């Protein structure tokens, strides 16, 4: 075991580009056990405060609540554009017309996941609370670890918490099945449920985590809400970022995206995907929907634009399906929004009243008294790309700590 650990730690040092190898080179090292991961690699988080196992995790999942969508793969960009013209049409009936009712979808999908530990984490003494990070549309798991100073994974590690992030089905290095009938919001919720169960039962790296805090961003927050509705015992606490119950700007958002067929927009990356996989067209689309100038780092914006990820027609047509009042969820909830979130607040989260507070009022009637809300000043939808990201992280980690996790 010692030899294996030493070799792995040498690999960490070699691949991370960091001078100092991890110090806890013994069999207690959390990264000495790669159970549950295929093709596992080790790396550090962007700021070097966490050591991570990255690999494929096969997830066998069934959901009864996907939707039979009465659309076929679009033939060309004109068909995609017209789909969105009809989607935002006054009193559009497109979503109703395309809804062929609930259907069951099952499969085994490879999910590319990243389990990160604080450098000095000790399975006997350290926190057994894992934070479960679900990214939004246009990103993959790298949203949580963009760069030094803009990494929730680093901030959580410094506060003593392991994190589990993953590329949602249909993004990044995870599988990309049928973009209309399979990659939908309901299946995404059941994949998250499955991963959380594995974290609790010791399915990853031989660690059984006793507590799970779900942390969502945007569409990832929609799934986090979905988990607290459908599986209220899955998570002990939930942090919703870039999310509200105000959907007024969703049509504006899809127009702003200028949705483009991914395989034509970025053939080198997405050339093999069917036409139902879409991306935001240009960096202009990305700034419009996700950012508030001048309060973001231009270098991160360029990085983010270069690594933009796909979304699917199936997700667009089932976007809000998991959202309902989570009447059986009794843990604490933290709602974190940028003041100028375009997608969920039409750029003003204080109008007509505090949208973070409204989320608690409307969706979490039974949440514990430890719940909190915050509006981060001058910040757009993709909080992690903005200068105020570290302030958001501190609020989130204080929330976790103050609730005794």
Binding site for ligand NAG (CB under 6 A): 75-76, 78-79, 90-91
- Least distance CB 275 / ligand NAG (angstroms): 10
Q: Output 18 or 88, the one with its CB closest to ligand NAG.
A: 88
- Least separation in angstroms between residue 78's CB and ligand NAG is 4
Give whichever of 32 and 275 is closer to ligand NAG, judged by the CB atom: 275
Specify the residue, 91 or 104, whose C-beta has the smaller distance to ligand NAG: 91
- To ligand NAG, the closest distance from the beta carbon of 323 in angstroms equals 23
Smallest separation, CB 216 to ligand NAG (Å):
32
For ligand NAG, the closer CB: 76 or 306: 76
Q: For residues 59 and 107, what is the distance between their CA atoms, to the nearest angstrom?
A: 8
Preceding omega of 318 cis (within 30 degrees of 0): no
- Match 């027609």 to its residue by tokens: 313
Residue 275 vs 312, nearer CB to ligand NAG: 275
Please, which residue, 79 or 269, has the CB nearer to ligand NAG?
Answer: 79
């Amino acid at each position: 075991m010692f030899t294996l650990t030493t070799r792995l730690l040498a690999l960490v040092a070699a691949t991370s580009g960091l001078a100092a190898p991890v110090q806890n080179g013994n069999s207690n090292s959390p990264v000495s056990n790669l159970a549950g991961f295929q093709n596992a690699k080790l790396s550090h988080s962007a700021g070097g405060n966490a050591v991570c196992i990255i690999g494929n995790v096969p997830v066998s999942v069934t959901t009864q609540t996907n939707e039979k969508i009465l659309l076929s793969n679009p033939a060309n960009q004109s068909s995609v554009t017209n789909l969105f013209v009809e989607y935002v049409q006054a009193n559009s009936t497109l979503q109703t017309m395309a809804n062929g009712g609930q259907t069951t979808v099952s499969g085994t999908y490879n999910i590319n996941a990243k389990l990160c530990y604080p450098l000095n984490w000790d399975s006997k003494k350290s926190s057994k609370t894992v934070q479960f990070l679900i990214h939004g549309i246009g990103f993959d798991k790298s949203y949580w670890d963009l760069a030094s100073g803009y990494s929730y994974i680093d901030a959580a590690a410094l506060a003593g918490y392991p994190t589990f992030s993953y590329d949602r089905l249909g993004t990044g290095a995870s599988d990309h099945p049928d973009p209309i009938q399979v990659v939908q919001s309901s299946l995404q919720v059941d994949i998250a449920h499955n991963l959380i169960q594995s974290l609790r039962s010791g399915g990853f790296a031989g660690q059984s985590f006793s507590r799970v805090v779900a942390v969502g961003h945007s569409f990832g927050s929609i799934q986090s809400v979905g988990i607290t509705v459908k599986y209220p015992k899955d998570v002990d606490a939930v942090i919703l970022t870039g999310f509200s119950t105000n959907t007024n700007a969703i049509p504006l958002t899809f127009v702003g995206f200028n949705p483009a067929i991914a395989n034509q927009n970025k053939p080198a990356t997405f050339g093999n995907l069917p036409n139902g996989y879409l991306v935001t067209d240009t960096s202009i689309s990305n700034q419009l929907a996700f950012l508030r100038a001048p309060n973001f780092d231009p270098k991160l914006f360029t990085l983010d634009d270069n690594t933009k990820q796909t979304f699917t027609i199936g997700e667009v047509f089932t976007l809000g399906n998991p959202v309902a009042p989570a009447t059986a969820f009794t843990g604490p909830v933290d709602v974190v929004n940028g003041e100028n979130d375009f997608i969920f607040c039409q750029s003003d989260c204080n109008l007509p009243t505090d949208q973070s507070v409204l989320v608690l009022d409307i969706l979490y009637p039974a949440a514990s008294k430890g719940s909190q809300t915050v509006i981060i000043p001058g910040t757009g939808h993709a909080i992690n790309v903005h200068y105020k990201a570290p302030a958001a992280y501190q609020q989130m980690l204080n929330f976790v700590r103050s609730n005794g996790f």
